[in-house]
Amino acid sequence: MISTHSQFVAVGPSITVRFILGPLSRLLNPLVGVLAGRRFVPLIARIDHVGRRSGKPYRTSTGGHVTGDTIVIPLSFGNVSDWARNVRAADGCVVALGGKSYHATQPRFVDAADAKPIVGQAFNAINRFMFRLFGIKQYLFLRITSQ
């Protein structure tokens, strides 16, 4: 199911992510944050977004890839994470990926089954296997715009 602003279905992280990636992310986030968005680190994105209540700027590191005019982000922690909710509320963000910066709008939360064709274009077989292993249930699709 493709969730839009009018029909939002909350999706949280899988059990695997909660018990394995959750604790590891606390340890790895400082390193990942330094690498995110850099030229020679193609799969780690840096998301610059604005708090939906505070209006404060935030920066979050996550996985991602560009295919055509779409940025595809596996939602390890689901669409209920603060950064994903902020991007949805603001209807966009700035994504740094592979040394380039993209203005991205029209966020869509897409279930894994519906996202399969585009995820297949964006990520290699090893990445897709890891997404299944970690129980990724949804992806965030963002449209690249010229601002």
Over residues 16-69, the pLDDT tens digits come to 655 556 556 666 666 666 777 888 888 899 999 999 999 999 999 999 999 999
Instruction: Please tell me the pTM assigned to this model.
Output: 0.82
Provide the domain limits for residue 59: 2-145
d(CA 78, CA 103): 22
In the chain, the number of structural domains is: 1
Read off the CATH number of the domain in which 25 is found: 2.30.110.10
Asked if 80 and 137 touch (Cβ cutoff 8 Å), the reply is no
